Chains A and B, each alone.
Chain A
Amino acid sequence: EVQLVESGGGLVQPGGSLRLSCAASGFTFDNSAMSWVRQAPGMGLEWVSTITDSGGSTYYADSVKGRFTISRDSSKNTLYLQMNSLRAEDTAVYYCAKLLNYWGQGTLVTVSS
């Protein structure tokens, strides 16, 4: 059974940092490009970032470029999203996904003072 389990969300003050994790199982993580997608409350889906299967290339939405860093640890089958300089507009549910196949249930990040 495929599972993507996100963790690390929570309440953080503007300007703060948070690291999200996504534990993957049930498929070949090493061969899979992985992504983060977010959804602000009551809004649509927004692609945030993708990392290639090797980890050699990373891509970001303009809205997070320079503040967020995606990474992966194949020895742990885990995807990460380091989020720095957080803003109120980063408040959203963050989904980990093998985009065209599997999605996690999401973790809520709230940026507020």
Chain B
Amino acid sequence: NAGVTQTPKFRVLKTGQSMTLLCAQDMNHEYMYWYRQDPGMGLRLIHYSVGEGTTAKGEVPDGYNVSRLKKQNFLLGLESAAPSQTSVYFCASSGQGRFYNEQFFGPGTRLTVL
């Protein structure tokens, strides 16, 4: 099992450009999440999904959109990147039953917006 994978690992954008970050999990998890990590602020939830075809806003959703067309994939889009979106982005997933609430994280994507 690969667990949770993220592509790309690094990206540099210019202000106003767009991009999509891909998250994939092979654990058949229902729930998936996108976080951003900034120095001194821990991780903050951007958007999350509780199942295929569903998405919901987290703590800091502005400037981001998401889609969950397939259960195993969760995409995070930036339509018009801003320097304030320079961050490390982590995807996570969790299942139900015994391991409910236990999130598994991907390795992260480091995004720089110039």
Check if A and B associate: no
